[in-house]
Chain A
Amino acid sequence: MSLLSVENLKASYGGIQALKGISLEVAQGELVALIGSNGAGKSTTLKTLAGLLHPASGSIHYDGISMHDIPAHQRVRDGLSLVPEGRGVFARLSVEENLQMGAYIRNDTAQIAADLERMYALFPRLAERRAQLAGTLSGGEQQMVAMARALMSKPKLLMLDEPSMGLAPMMVAKIFETISDISAQGVSILLVEQNARLALEVARRGYVLESGLITLADSASNLLGSDEVRRAYLGA
């Protein structure tokens, strides 16, 4: 049974329909990519899944339970964690305080301290800057903070919204390396990206979203090889 299953999900901002009925699945331990151009509805999808936006219709089942009436803060407790677009680090809190906020829903103090060290092992860059204000970090480092912060909530499903946005190429490579590492540790990941090639290279399966509808769904390697995807998103 899949960890997350979305059926015919519709969402709108005021009168504008951003999602026109999408269905997707993420299995336990899977890394799934959701690609598409600007304004296709990728971020809307993640916001709706995280409970920050209420869907107009359709269903979201996570871990076999309908998420319809579950508020955003409760979903985090259930293991559904979002790294928001544009990272959303707490600029005037230190790196360490940011990570502690990630563990806000937990109260196993000893385990939190251990996880904090685990994060510093995963992102050595952050260990050097733990006392620094998150707002003074570079974009890539802020992305690391955002990811580490989300991992501090011990998610079962991690949703990443455009982790490559605005980062230098070297940083993008590093971030994607880490995404693979996290996935290898057994965390299921739903990855939203404009950088289709990178996303499909690390993912097992992929969905292509266009103007609020899913137009293609296949294994990542098939999508990478498909003419439509190549033409539209890979520039080849």
Chain B
Amino acid sequence: MNLKHKPLLAALAIALLLLPFATDAMLGRGWVRIADFALLYIMLALGLNIVVGYAGLLDLGYVAFFAVGAYNYALLSSPQFGLHWPFWVVLPLGALLACCFGVLLGAPTLKLRGDYLAIVTLGFGEIIRIFLNNLNAPVNITNGPQGISMIDPIRAGEFSMGGEHQLFGLAFPATHLHYYLFLLFTLLVIFVSRRLEGSRIGRAWMAIREDEVAAEAMGLNTRNIKLLAFAMGATFGGLSGGLFAGFQGFVSPESFSLMESIMILCMVVLGGMGNIGGVILGGVLLVLLPEALRNGAGPMQQALFGKTLVDPESLRMLMFGLALIAVMLLRPAGLWPSTQRRRELSPDEMISHQEQDTVYDNSK
């Protein structure tokens, strides 16, 4: 981090800290909750980015790990089994459990690539969801489609995040408290992602993405390194899942559909695969855009036509789809691609000149 960026970072930090109060004042009460979800999705997208962006393994069942983390929290910290384990035990446990599932689901797919891998992971994702949906008989574990409710809020000692607190003379409702907690975890995930990216392991993932055979010929144990990618990605998913369960107070299999996996993948691809900044941007946009369309479409029609022609709710997904297509056409490498992707898809002047030199210059 060089000095030039310091004022910028400080400004960003202050903006992020004030965000919940700013949205409350300017946009209305509901937006902090949306910001909370944006942070959860950013964690998920960064986790998937390890698998898809770094290691190049197309995973369509990623939401399964989110589900594992969420259900782990729900089962161990709710009246379902009468267990009320503290969140600082349940949350790491959920991440660990998701990590194990990552290895478990990753292992059979090691020899598969590309579309085949995508289909198998898609199957795995659905299996987990269907299990959660049906594990209410003969022994009721997950409570089936009804889901598990009355999950304990995240709590440290006497301080429960489920209710409003007065701190420093300000009122912090539950959504605000969760916002700060999720922000903290998101920063942790960003930090770990950054460290991984520049590490020997990060480079090994990218080598596998580029050419698996060559990577193996370099002495990489491709099996272990791919499993590690699945495990790391799943860990982030499990973490996010646990936070989700504690925040929401309710989980049901519905929240973990294939559509969720695809949304998370969209965030990674649309934002800029392999670039942490891009993935964060993708996460923020894909959470905000549908909400903005939902809130904006009605009044806009009123203003333009004097009445509501199309139901904003159905217009929302239509606009959303169009936005996705437009972005992918205009910026095929994502909104904020990694330097590599950018250079690959639009070679800059210097490189194309060098290429010309290479072909025609035989002096060297």
Contact = CB atoms under 8 A, between A and B. Distances in A.
B206 A73 contact: no
Interface in B236-276: none
Interface stretch (B68-76, B150-158, B180-188, B340-348): B340-348
Interface in B195-250: 200, 203-204, 206-207, 209-211, 213-222
B362 A88 contact: no
Contacts of A88: 211, 213-214, 217
B111 to A, nearest CB: 13
Given A52-B213, A84-B214, A170 B354 contact: no
A92 B341 contact: yes
A106 to B, nearest CB: 9
Contacts of B214: 84, 88-90, 146
Contact of A170 (B200, B341, B362): B362
Given A90-B207, A125-B364, A84 B217 contact: yes
Interface in A100-149: 100-102, 104-105, 124-125, 129, 132-133, 135-138, 140-141, 146, 149
Contacts of A73: 216, 219-222
Contacts of B115: none
Interface residues of A, number: 42
B215 A101 contact: yes
Contacts of B211: 84, 88-91
Contacts of B219: 72-77, 104-105, 153
B217 A52 contact: yes
A138 B355 contact: yes
A133 B358 contact: no
Contacts of A71: 221
Contact of B218 (A74, A140, A149): A149
A25 B219 CA distance: 23
Nearest to A88: B214
A102 B362 CA distance: 28
A225 to B, nearest CB: 31
A133 B213 contact: no
Interface in A23-80: 50, 52, 71-77
A153 B218 contact: yes
Interface string B85-101: 00000000000000000
A164 interface: no
Contacts of A129: 354
Contacts of B216: 52, 72-73
Interface size, B (range): 20 to 34
B1 interface: no
B351 to A, nearest CB: 5
B358 A97 contact: no
Nearest to B350: A132
A90 B208 CA distance: 9
Contact of A72 (B203, B217, B358): B217
Contact of B340 (A72, A92, A124): A92
B359 interface: yes
A73 B224 CA distance: 11
A133 B203 contact: no
A115 to B, nearest CB: 14
B203 A50 contact: no
Contacts of B221: 71, 73
Contacts of B340: 92-93, 133
Interface of B: 200, 203-204, 206-207, 209-211, 213-222, 340-341, 343-344, 347, 351, 354-355, 358-359, 362, 364
24 contacts: A73-B219, A73-B220, A76-B217, A83-B217, A84-B214, A88-B211, A88-B217, A90-B206, A90-B211, A90-B215, A91-B344, A92-B210, A93-B203, A93-B340, A97-B203, A100-B203, A104-B220, A105-B218, A105-B219, A133-B343, A133-B351, A136-B344, A153-B219, A168-B359
Given A88-B217, A90-B210, 5 more contacts: A90-B206, A101-B203, A104-B219, A104-B220, A132-B354
